Structure 1
Amino acid sequence: MAGSIIPGILGMNPFSSNIQSQQGTLSNSSTPINIGSNIIPFAGKRTIASVTKDWELPNPTNTPAITINGKTLAEAFAALNRLPQWGQGGGTLKTDPIPLGDTTDLDVKLYANLVLRLPTWTGYQAASKAAQNEWDNMLAKLRIHEQRHVDIAIEEANALASELIGKDINKIPSLVTNANATMLKRQRALDKDTDHGAKPGVPYGDVILDASIT
Structure 2
Amino acid sequence: MDNKENEQIENILKKSAEEIELKPFSERWQDIENRLEFDNGEKVVIKEQVPILSMQNNTSEDFSKKPADNKIKIFVWSICLLLVAVLVILIPISFHKTEPVYFGPDDLTSEIVSKEMFWSEITKSKIDIVDMDGYECEDYALLKTEIGEVQGGTFIINDDENLALINVTFYSSSVIISNEDFIESDKYNIDNTVISYYRLEDNIDLFEYEVLANHKNVTYELKYLSVTDNILEFFNKFFV
Larger Rg: 2
TM range (shorter): under 0.3
User: TM-score of the superposition, structure 1-length normalised?
Assistant: 0.22
Does 1 or 2 have the higher relative contact order (CA < 8 Å, sep 6+)?
1
**Bigger share in strand:** 2
**Bigger share in helix:** 2
User: TM-score of the superposition, structure 2-length normalised?
Assistant: 0.20
